[in-house]
Every structure is written in structure tokens, then in C-alpha cells.
Amino acid sequence: MDKILRIDMGAAGGPKASETPVGQYAGAAGRALTSAIVANEVDPLCHPLGADNKLVIAPGMLGGTIAAMSGRISVGCKSPLTGGIKEANAGGQAAQVMARLGYAAIVLEGKPKDDSLYKVVLNKDGVTISQDNSLKMLGNYDLVDKMKSQHGDKIACISIGPAGEMKMCAASVAFTDMELRPTRHAGRGGVGAVMGAKGVKVIVLDDTGMSMRPAKDPEKFRDANKAWVDGLKKHPVTGEGLPAYGTNVLTNVLNEAGAYPTKNFMFGRFDGCAKISGETQAATEVERGGSATHGCHRGCVIQCSGIYLNKDGHYLTKQPEYETVWAHGGNCGIDDLDAIAMLDRLDDDYGVDTIEMGATIAVAMEAGVAKFGDAQAAINLVHEVGKGTPLGRILGNGAGMTGKAFGIERVPVVKNQAMPAYDPRGVQGIGVTYATTPMGADHTAGYAVAANILKVGGFVDPLASEGQIELSRNLQIATAAVDSTGMCLFVAFAVLDQPETFQALIDMINAFYGLSLTADDVVALGKSVLKNEREFNKKAGFTAADDRLPAYFRKELLPPHNVVFTVTDEQLDSLFNW
Amino acid sequence: MDTQNLGDRAQVKLDLTCDAQILPPFFLLLQQGVRFEARVGATVEEFLCTQLGIERRYLKERINTIFLDGKPVDDAETAVIRDGSTLALSAALPGLVGAAFRKGGFYARLREGISHADEESKGAAGRGLVTVKLYNLVAKELGPQLLGTGVLVETDDLEQFFAGRPDGFWSRCRHAAVDDRVSSVSDLRQGVWWQRPALVRLTVSTVPAGEGPSAKPESP
């Protein structure tokens, strides 16, 4: 992982690839690297779909090693959805394969002269770029099948569906999983539209003939990884809850708390919740011969995913995540797991973010485009997006665009990005993160609950009046650091509760790179990432006014607890005072 | 058909014996909520440990998240149940909200607007009905014990549950008794409820596959 592959899609005579040493970016990986390149090299005022934007794809620090849970991959650019900097990440196989091929990052630059589509193939012999217009408007599933027939089944693919080709703001970048299915998506912020603007339909990665990346101290690295795995397996969240029920285990609990956004954030509880809960989903998967326990990449020991079969016992999609089940389920008043699974499949195939898509359909439902609870209508709307009809073009550009098109005030976005599955009136601390993260409303921006273990920000009294702000700040710093390691964010629970597991993670990084990092260094890394991102957004024209929730969250009472968002603007503005 | 009254709600007693392998689907009933007659005015801890027989260590270490009437509870020793209360129990959860909802957790402040305050649950002591919802691993681990001793289920919920069960489920139901009288499994499957009581006192016992009494031959 000592080189960067840059592909100038607008070069004279056609796309041109060059490999450069990591140079000034040495030591950076994952989100730290994507955000550094975007912040240094992209004009913050450029058009996100123009030649001056860059799409950066980077595995984490421990990508391509035997380290468990190190398979996350980051995608960065200027976002066409938010207009600010974006980092979206995903699981799947690509991070491991790309890292073993030696690439710290792939950077797509420039813009093709016409609307031709390109395929990029990377293997031990280098890079091949070929024009292939036969791929136009293929869904991700057909596309990957075609790549498999051409390049065999030892590959990993990074691709876009029709939504990316149509440069929709909800378009995702897909990554294949262990079964070579395009089920893992860097979903947020329209990163797929930027890949589409670069004219790249698919990047095929083949690490045949390459080896695992070697550690500086193999013995210590192996021992630390063992302690790491043991720690993850013994923790009740990472070793039991997530493997048994997946992330959808949250549905019942959020609903009980009255913080489950229902019917476009009008209510905090959904009557049909038990029909779409993680417990019901897991039982359905097992009863049909699928699986409720499955990893998204090799080396995953948490196994929070699953295999969802349809009523006839045929593969339909991977186990839909909590966010997806909520977005297409309760938020649209839909309590049919099979319909939700179909929507997940369509989102993956057309290549759109499930959160943005579900939030958008809910806004459309409030506008009367379809009725809340009408699952078939929701499926039809996603097909409109995939086909690129005029209505589909509106929906495919997200909740903000759809709200404007249909004259709806209740549009749950921050920086034009749709909110995820936690109502900020019920869980105010998450509202602080939604409002202030440079990414736009994003629950994963403040997700690394190990912040206190890392001693981010020194001692924080969580019960002090400033607690919400300080906790969110520290969570955002810790998350930026974890995103840079390439570790799945779910590791944070074992790190939170088991100091020896946190130590194992530090030991693993140190043994691999021959470093002597401390928790302070990890904190400094997280701060530097956020600083890059905040600076970029400031130059792009963002002000404090963009760090706000929509006004209705302060006015509309959320049943059943009848609460509003109460954190003041002054408190929000103090978040990045460190 | 004899019925008992619990307040003004008629109920019937249903005892099921089934193969152990079909017990897990019953846990889905627990996520929707089952009722218990309780001595109200008691703390959550007293209700769970003394009245329902859950081990204190299990409450402390395994039940990571508690909601009382939809509000996260930080201290099971001070929150008090009332007649009509709903108590929801979960094991450790993922996500920031998982950390935020933990009882007494470091991130509890993140959900301070909806946290349970002890003064909310002050009420008269006496007998009452409490709804208990069991989620995820807690349902799996406490389900056999609570189903074995009996839970009160809304008839609608039970009918819906039975309606969604596949053939394999029914072939593993070995014995059914309604108000201590042997009944046919097919009657249950077809939703025959005598005088349609509002509540069913359900107990589920298990036997290893291939053992135990056979189901009464099904009605033509």
C-alpha cells in the first residue's frame, strides 16, 4: 500500500493511468486519506460532477492483512448531494484485494470527452482501461455477473448502477461481498454520481498472485490479532447480539423508546414494528433456509449480515440493515419484510442509498404521490428511479429535491442529506451530530462509542450541562479515527467495554507498522481528519447556518413523548471549539 | 368453557407441549408483549427478580437496557411499576443509541429528554397487570422459563402468531389442553376459541423431539 493509482479520465487520447508514491500522504489511509486528498486537491467551489472534482477510493490502515474486521473501504469526493466534502464507506471484499495489490488509493480525475463508459481492471500486472458501452444501464447484479464471466470468480468489483450513470444525488458505489454479489454500498452523499461523471462503470480487482501484506513484527501482530478476535467474540454485542439478529435488532428498541421515525418523521412509534423487527427478520431467514449470521467480507468475526430468501426459497438480497428496514419500512408505514427486502434488492441493483431512497419515498408519500403503507407503490417508485423517468429523476436526487418538487415542508435533511433512523427529538445527542458533522445528517459520523476509552477530549462529565455537545464532539473525533483504520465501526462496543480489546487494536497497528502509537495519537488523527473536512466545507461556502436541523424539529412535538429538539444554536456552534 | 376474570377481562388457559425445536418462534410473541399479574408499587428489580424469578445477576449483567413505559431506565432499584405499566428488556445493543439506552451508561445524557424519572412512576401499591416485552437475547434466554410458568397473551396476538406458523410447526405441537381439557391441535390452528376470551394464559412446555405425549388425532 505504498502507491496511489491516478486515472485521468479526460486525458488527451483517452483515459490515462499513472502510479505515484504516496508521498505527502504517507501514513494516511481510509477516511484520513480520502479527506486529505479531497481537501488538498479539489477546488471546494468546483461543480461536483465536473472535471475538477476527484473520486478517491481508499482501504484502511490494516486492509489486506489478516487483521479481523479490517475490510472497510472509504470513498471520498465533493458531494453532489451536500455540496460539501464527503466520505462514505462500505464493507465487502474490495478493501482487502485493493490493499494486497499495493494501492493506498485509486483517484479518478478529470472527465471523459463524451458519455462513453469505461471498465478498469487492476491485477498484479497493472491497470487496463477499456471503453465498454455494452455496460450502459446495467444493474449492479447483471454487471457483476458479466464481469464474472469475463474475469472469473476470484475478483472483487467496485461499480455503479443506472442511478450513478444518470448522476443522481442518491447514487451509491457498490462493492461485492464474499459471494461476489454487489450488496455493500458506500451509499451516502451521491458518491456514485461522481463515479458516473468520471465515466467509470466498474473497477475489477484481481489479487491473484499477490500475498497478504506483511507486518513489521509478525509475531506480535498475530498475537494482537488473536487477542482482538477473542475480545470481539466474547462481547455480548459483537459476539452474540449482532451475529444473531444483525443491526435490525434496533427496531424494537427504538420503537419502544418512541424515537423510531415513522411516516416521514411524524410519529415516534410504528404499529407494525414487530413484523419487521430484527427478531422477526432473523426467524424468517432461518425458517426459509437462508441465514441470519453472515459476514460481508473474509476476516469478519462479527457476522452481522445474513442471507434473505424469498417465499420460494430463492436468494433475494443480503439481510437488510436496520437503516434500510426503517427507511423503507416504518418511515414509509410499510410492515412487509418481503417488500422491504425487495426494495433493498432494487436499491442495490440500481445503485442508490437505501437511507436517502426511503426518506425520499416517505416525503413523496406525504406529498400524496403514494399512500403510506403501500408497499407496491414504493417498489414502483424505485423502479421509476432505475428507469430514469421524470418522476424517477426527482426521487433519485433525494429527499431535499423531492420536498422542493412537491412543496413539502417536513423534509428531514441536514446539508440536504436525509436523516437516518433515529429521531433527533428522542435522542437529542444524535441530533447534535446530525447538525454538526461535515457530512450532512449521518448517524455514523458520531458512532465510535469508545470515545471515552480513547480519552478523547480528556475527562468528560457526561452529566454536565455541556455533556451533549462534548460527547458528540468526542464521538465524531473517535469515529474519524476509526474510519481511517478501516475497521468496522461495530468494533467500538468491545473497545468501549473491554480495555484489553482496545489495547489489542493499538498493539495490532503498532506491530504492523512498527510504530508506538498512543491513544493521544489516535485522537490527533481524528481531529486532523475533521479539521480537513471542516476547512473544505468552509471554503465551499458552508456557515454555522448549515449546522442546523430543519426548524420543524424545534416546533413539532414527537409522540409518544411529545418532545422537541432543544439543543440551542449557541451550543451547536461551540461543538468544534477545541 | 370455564373462564376466569382478571378485572373485567375473560381469560382461558392454554397449555401446549411441543418439540423443543419449535420453542424459538414463541419468542416472537414476547417481543410484542405479554402480561403478568403483579404486585405493583414494587421496583423494577423487585418485580423482575422476586416476582418473576429472574436472577439478580442476570438483571445486572445481561439485561443491559430497560424501558419503563417507553422511557429508558437507569436504575432498576428505584424505578417503580404501576398497574398498566409496560416494561421492555433488552440485552446489549449496537449503535450509538445502543450505548445511549444502556441503564446508567456513559452516553445516557444523549437521550436525556426521554429518560425515565423515578417520580413518574409513583403509584398505589396493590395488584395489577404489567406488560413485559422481551427482545433479542433476553427473549431467547428468559423465554423458556417464562413460557414454562405461564404468560398472559392477547387473543388477537396469539391468533396472528398461530396463523403465521408453517406446517412444520404444527406437526411438532404434541399436546394441547384448554382449561385442563385435552384439545386438538387443529382447533388451535383453525383459530377455534371458545367464547373468544380477551386473554389467554399460555404455558409452553417442551420435550425432546420424538418423546412425550402425542397430539390428539386431529378433527376431521
Does the residue A97 lie in any domain?
yes
Mean pLDDT value of segment A517-522: 84
In one letter, which amino acid is A74? S
**A324 and A185, same domain (yes or no):** no
**Rounded Cα–Cα distance for residues A232 and A218 (Å):** 21
Domain C-terminal end among A421, A455, A480: A421
What is the pLDDT at residue B3?
Answer: 40
**CA distances in angstroms from A154 to A150, A205, A214, A569, listed in the order given:** 11, 9, 21, 52
**pLDDT confidence of residue A475:** 87
Is A273 found in the same domain as A330?
Answer: yes
Q: Which residue has the higher pLDDT, B139 or B124?
A: B139
Query: What is the average per-residue pLDDT within A89-107?
Result: 97
| Closest by Cβ to A258, choosing from B70, B97, B98 | B70
Closest residue to A241, CB basis, from B92, B97, B100: B92
Any CB–CB contact under 8 A between B207 and chain A? no
Q: Decide if pLDDT at A349 tops 50.
A: yes
| pLDDT winner (highest mean) among A200-209, A497-506, B200-209 | A200-209
Shared domain for A60 and A186, answered yes or no, is yes
**Which ranges of A53-198 would DSSP assign to H, the alpha helix?**
94-100, 140-151, 162-165, 191-197
Q: Name the minimum distance, in Å, from the CA of B202 to any CA of chain A.
A: 20
Is the bond preceding A21 in cis, omega lying within 30 degrees of 0? Answer: no
In sequence order, what DSSP letters do the residues of A322-386 get, joined into one string?
A: HHHHHHHTGGGT---HHHHHHHHHHHHHHTB-HHHHHHHHHHHHHTTSS-TT-HHHHHHHHHHHH
Using DSSP's 3-state secondary structure scheme, residue A414 falls into strand
Nearest to A192 by CA among A183, A201, A184: A201
> For testing the chain B interface, which of A240, A247, A252, A285 should be mutated: the one with the most B CBs within 10 Å?
A252
Residue B113 has pLDDT above 90, yes or no: no
A163 and A256 together in one domain: no
Instruction: Please state, for a pLDDT cut of 70, what percent of chain A lies above it.
Output: 97
Cα–Cα dist B47/A362, whole Å = 41
Question: At residue A464, does pLDDT exceed 80?
Answer: no
pLDDT for A55 beyond 60 = yes
CA–CA gap between residue A305 and residue A349 (Å, rounded): 18
pLDDT above 80 for A460: no
Which of A234, A238, A253 has the most B C-beta neighbours within 10 Å, making it the best mutation to test the interface with B?
A253
Is B82 a residue whose pLDDT tops 60? yes
Q: Which residues have C-beta within 8 Å of that of residue B81, sequence separation ≥ 6?
A: B38, B40, B41, B42, B43, B44, B47, B68, B87, B121, B128, B130
pLDDT of residue B15: 94
Domain-embedded: residue A499 = no
Query: From the CB of residue B8, how many other CB atoms can be counted at a distance below 10 Å?
Result: 6
Taking an 8 Å cut-off on Cβ atoms, the answer to whether B70 and A256 are in contact is yes
pLDDT of residue B5: 42
User: Please, which pLDDT band fits residue A124 given cuts at 50, 70 and 90?
Assistant: very high
- pLDDT for B1 beyond 60: no
Distances (CA, A) of A87 to A191, A429, A451, A480: 8, 21, 20, 10
Q: Are the beta carbons of B93 and A496 separated by less than 8 Å? A: no
pLDDT at A126 over 60: yes
Q: Which residue has the higher pLDDT, B161 or B134?
A: B134
How many CB atoms sit inside 10 A of residue A229's CB?
18
Q: Average pLDDT of B56-81? A: 95
Length of chain A, please? 578
Least confident of A141-155, A270-284, A422-436, B4-18: B4-18
Amino acid identity of residue A184, one-letter, is: R
pLDDT of A455: 54
Is residue A444 one of the residues assigned to a domain?
Answer: no
How confident is the model over B109-114, as a mean pLDDT?
A: 84
pLDDT of residue A453: 56
pLDDT at A492: 83
Domain count, chain A: 2
Per-residue pLDDT of A264-289, as tens digits, reads 999 999 999 999 999 999 999 998 99
Q: What SS3 class is residue A278?
A: helix
Contacts of B164 (CB under 8 A, 6+ apart): none
d(CA A120, CA A156): 12
pLDDT at A518: 84
Same domain, A201 and A94: yes
Inter-chain CB proximity A253 and B112 less than 8 Å? no
Look at residue A283 and tell me if it is in a domain: yes
pLDDT at residue number B185: 85
Q: What is the pLDDT of residues A17-49, one digit of tens each?
A: 999 999 999 989 999 999 999 999 999 999 999
Average pLDDT, chain A: 94
Query: In whole angstroms, how far apart are CA A74 and each of A92, A127, A129, B135?
Result: 11, 20, 22, 34
CA A245 to chain centre: 20
Question: Is residue B131 less than 8 Å (CB to CB) from chain A?
Answer: no
- Specify the amino acid at residue A204: V
Residue of A nearest to B105 (CA): A462
Say if A507 falls within a structural domain. Answer: no
Structure confidence at residue B183 as a pLDDT band (50, 70, 90): confident
Claim to verify: residue A201 and residue A110 sit in the same structural domain = yes
- Interstrand relation of B71-72 and B181-183 (parallel, antiparallel or unpaired): unpaired
Backbone φ and ψ for B201, nearest 5 degrees, come out as -90, 105
- Looking at the structure, do residues A63 and A191 belong to the same domain, yes or no? yes
Contact (CB, 8 A) for A446 and B96: yes
Asked if A493 and B133 come within 8 Å (Cβ–Cβ), the reply is no
Note whether A373 and A267 are within 8 A (CB): no
Task: Give the CA distances from residue B78 to residues B35, B42, B44, B121, in Å, rounded to whole numbers and listed in that order.
Answer: 22, 9, 7, 10
pLDDT at A462 over 80: no
Report the helix count and the strand count for chain B, using DSSP H and E.
Answer: 8, 11
Structure confidence at residue B212 (pLDDT): 57
Q: Where are the beta strands (DSSP E) in A178-245?
A: 184-186, 200-206
pLDDT higher than 90, residue B197: no
pLDDT band at B217 (very low <50, low <70, confident <90, very high): very low
Tell which of A242, A249, A311, A454 to mutate to test the B interface (max B CBs under 10 Å): A249
Average pLDDT (A525-551) is 96
Please check whether residues A99 and A161 belong to one and the same domain.
Answer: yes
Angle at which helices A519-539 and A30-41 pack, to 10 degrees? 30
Whether A538 is covered by a domain: the verdict is no
Residue B210: the pLDDT is 61
Task: List C-alpha distances in Å: A405 to A367, A391, A402, A497, B41.
Answer: 10, 10, 5, 47, 54
Q: Are residues A160 and A254 in the same domain?
A: no
Q: What is the pLDDT of residues A485-509, one digit of tens each?
A: 888 888 888 887 888 888 899 899 9
Q: Which of A235, A259, A449 sits opposite B99 (nearest CB)?
A: A449
Contact B212, B174 (CB under 8 A): yes
pLDDT band, very low/low/confident/very high, at B121 (cuts 50, 70, 90): low
Distances (CA, A) of B214 to B19, B163, B205: 11, 22, 13
Q: Does residue A506 belong to the interface with chain B, where contact is any CB pair within 8 Å? A: no
pLDDT at residue B4, as a whole number? 43
**Residues 375 to 434 of A: which have CB under 8 A from any B CB?**
422, 425-430, 433
Task: Give the residue with greater pLDDT, A139 vs B2.
Answer: A139
The pLDDT of residue B88? 98
Read off the pLDDT of residues A359-409 as tens digits, 9 standing for 90 and up.
999 999 999 999 999 999 999 999 999 999 999 999 999 999 999 999 999
Task: Check A240 against B91: CB less than 8 A apart.
Answer: yes
Closest by CA position to A454, among listed A417, A480, A426 = A480
Return the residue of A nearest to B32 by Cα: A274
Q: Does residue A322 form part of some domain?
A: yes
Grid coordinates 443491559 are at which residue?
A: B64
Q: Is A130 exposed, middle or buried (0-12, 13-18, 19+ CB in 10 A)?
A: exposed
ipTM: 0.90
Tell which wins on pLDDT, B193 or B144.
B144
Q: Could you tell me which residues are beta bridge partners of residue A558?
A: A563
∠ CA A541-A545-A548, nearest 5°, is 125
Based on the domain organization, do A70 and A132 belong to the same domain? yes
Q: Quote the pTM value.
A: 0.94
Return d(Cα B220, Cα B197) in angstroms, integer: 25
Q: Residues A165, A298: one domain?
A: no
Q: Which of A205, A232, A257 is the last residue of a domain?
A: A205
Does A568 map to a domain?
no
Q: Which residue range is the domain that position A163 belongs to?
A: 3-205
Q: For chain A, give the percent of residues with pLDDT over 90.
A: 85
pLDDT of B165 reads: 87
The domain boundary residue, chosen from A205, A228, A261? A205
Q: How many helices (H) and strands (E) does chain A have?
A: 22, 17
Residue B161 has pLDDT above 80, yes or no: yes
Q: Taking 90 as the threshold, does the pLDDT of residue B188 lie above it?
A: no
pLDDT reported for residue B156: 87
Amino acid at B105: G
B158 or A77, higher pLDDT: A77
| Averaged pLDDT for residues A469-483 | 87
Q: What is the dihedral of CA B95, B100, B103, B109, to 10 degrees?
A: 170
pLDDT at B219: 41
* CB distance A296 to A177 below 8 Å: yes
Task: Indicate which CATH number applies to the domain containing A316.
Answer: 1.10.569.10
Is A4 or A490 the better-scoring residue by pLDDT? A4
Task: Note whether A319 and A198 are same-domain residues.
Answer: no
Q: Is the CB of B110 inside 8 Å of chain A's CB atoms?
A: yes
Q: Per residue in A11-37, is it b (16+ CB within 10 Å) or e — as a string?
A: eeeebebeeeebeebeebbbbbbbbbb
Contact by Cβ (8 Å): B113, B170: no
Which residues neighbour B3 within 8 Å (Cβ) at sequence distance 6 or greater? B10, B11, B12, B195, B197
Q: Which domains does chain B have, with CATH numbers?
A: 1-36+133-220 (no CATH), 42-123 (3.10.20)
Grid look-up 471542516 returns A534
Give the pLDDT confidence of A403-446 residue by residue, as tens digits: 999 999 999 999 999 999 999 999 888 999 999 999 999 988 88
Interface residue of B21, B110, B153 to substitute, partner A, most A CBs within 10 Å = B110
Look up residue A236 and give its DSSP letter.
I
Question: Please, are residues B163 and A286 in contact by the beta-carbon 8 Å criterion?
Answer: no
Write the CB contacts of A540 (distance below 8 Å, at least 6 apart in sequence): A44, A45, A78, A83, A84, A85
Q: Are A471 and A539 in contact (CB under 8 A)?
A: no
Rounded to the nearest 5°, which phi and psi values hold at A127?
-120, 140
Q: Assess whether pLDDT exceeds 80 at residue B211.
A: no
